[in-house]
Every structure is written in structure tokens, then in C-alpha cells.
Structure 1
């Protein structure tokens, strides 16, 4: 491996971990909102969805979908960071790290007015993380299949 490739790989690792850390900060900031601030943000998103597509989604459903989506994103970013660092995605580790962060996120919410620590939310977050990891495995499998076909030509 040349020096340029080594430097490029080092930067890929740094950027990958920085993106995962940024996602964690984003989740922390959302969790830091009071219950009323969080609800008003959800209401604003709901109004925007209704204005664009005319679809009325219950607030509780939207909030759970948002929980799952943010932890799916975190799992994808952790999978990618581990892939850049270890050469493999390590699906169990990226899922486990994401679920551990979900647990700490819920514990953090105990300290926020109008928020609570809910086991159900950890389960929703864990399912979102699972969806993110499965997405990564699918993309990786398709990418490997494409590379094999490309080298056979």
C-alpha cells in the first residue's frame, strides 16, 4: 500500500467516525429538548407532511418513526466507520453500539422536564438500528456481487 493510499484510508476512518459522532450529538440535542419543545417540533413536521402530501400521521407514530430513523442512521454510520477501520462492517458490533447509545439516550431523558425513560423507545431504536445494519449488509452484498461481475468481464 502506498503512502497516498494509507493517508486516504486514514482520512476515511477519521471522517467516518466524525460523522458517527455528529449523529450522536444530533440525537443528544434532540433528547435535550423539553417535552413541550419536542412536541411542537413534531407538530411542525406533521403540518409540513400534511401540506405536502395531504397525509395525516398521528403524532405518536411520527415520533416513533423519527426515533427509528435516527438510530438507523447511527447504525449505518457506525457500520461504515467500523468497515473503514477494521475492513469489515461488524454488524453485531455496530448494532450493539447503537443499542447501547439508545439506552443511554433514554436514561438521559430522565433528566429532561416533560421527558421519560421508556423501554418501548429503546425497542423502537433497536429495530431502527437493525434496519440500518440490514441495509448496510444488503448494500455490501450488492456491491460485492457487482465487483465480481465486473472482474469476470
Structure 2
């Protein structure tokens, strides 16, 4: 059983590192490459919006900004969830594990923006770090809420089995 827990912890950290590598890869794309990726996603979002709300008139620039900023938010929401899970699987508990996950996520967001300073056509922005940090906080909150809900559900099921 102890070996199994160690394997799960290592795999959890592997997911964290893999997600960080994906963020790094996307941040290493030149400005033109990044804009091309964003344009493709923006066009897809625009098509979906037009199907859902045909009369809506959105400017493509508005959708592009929305897509780019939400990408930051959700990338770090997921990073924080993966990191908090890895910390918990490694034995961390309570507020300290949440603090560790938040600090790891924010430090990575800062390093990511510094990294972008060295990529042609990209820039590092403090506002993106703040957005990333907000995503990380949301991820930690979501993880905590779901964990609490699952814990209560487990207790209820155990009580039913005991009766």
C-alpha cells in the first residue's frame, strides 16, 4: 500500500511538470506563432458564439482578447489544481498545502513572464501574473470545495454501511 501511495505521488508531480512544460512551450512561441494559435482558437470561439447567439455582433479583437486572457486564467487554475493534488499526495495537508500550491503557481507565473521577455514578439506583463494568480486561487478554491464535498459524501456512505 505504501509503494502505491509513492507511485501516485510521483505520477502527480509528473503531471505538474508536464503541465509546466506545456506552459513553457507555449510561452516560447514567437509572437507570430502565438498570434496564429490565438487566431485559430478565436475563429472557433467566434463560430460557436454565432451558432449559439446568431444576432450577436462581437468584434474579433474582443473575442481574441477574451480567449488570450482566459487561457492564462485556466492554465494556472489547472496548474494550481495539479500542484495542490501533488502536494496532498505527498503528505501535505490543510492550509499549508494550499499555500505551497499557490506559491509554486505564482512563482511559475512570474518565471513564465520573465521567460517571455526573451522571446521575440512577446512581452512579460505584471497584469498577466495577476491574472495567473487569480486563476491559481480559483483552482485551489475549486479543489478545496470538491475535496470537502467528496469527504462529506464518503462519511455519509460510511455511516450508511455501518448501519
Distance 1:65 1:46 in 2: 11
Instruction: Confirm whether residue 127 of structure 1 aligns to residue 123 of structure 2.
Output: no
Report how many residues are paired. Answer: 149
The structure-2 alpha-carbon separation of the partners of 1:100 and 1:87, relative to structure 1 and needing over 3 Å to count, comes to: closer
Q: How far 1:52 moved relative to its partner?
A: 3.0
Corresponding residue number in structure 2 for 1:82: 87
**TM score, norm. by length of structure 1:** 0.92
- Do the aligned residues in 1 keep the contact of 2:106 with 2:129 (CA within 8 Å)? yes
Corresponding residue number in structure 2 for 1:25: 21
Corresponding residue number in structure 2 for 1:36: 32
Q: How far 1:124 moved relative to its partner?
A: 0.4
Distance 2:79 2:113 in 1: 15
Distance 1:87 1:97 in 2: 14
- Do the aligned residues in 1 keep the contact of 2:76 with 2:133 (CA within 8 Å)? yes
Q: How far 1:28 moved relative to its partner?
A: 0.1
Unaligned runs of 5+ in 2: none
3-state DSSP of counterpart to 1:113: coil
1:110-130 C-alpha deviation (Å, 9 max, x unpaired) = 000111111000000000001
Corresponding residue number in structure 2 for 1:145: 152
Query: 4+ residue runs of structure 1 moved beyond 6 angstroms?
Result: none
Instruction: Confirm whether residue 114 of structure 1 aligns to residue 110 of structure 2.
Output: no
Corresponding residue number in structure 2 for 1:103: 110
3-state DSSP of counterpart to 1:86: coil
**TM score, norm. by length of structure 2:** 0.87
Q: How far 1:58 moved relative to its partner?
A: 2.0
Corresponding residue number in structure 2 for 1:8: 4
Unaligned runs of 5+ in 1: none
Distance 1:44 1:86 in 2: 41
Q: How far 1:87 moved relative to its partner?
A: 4.6
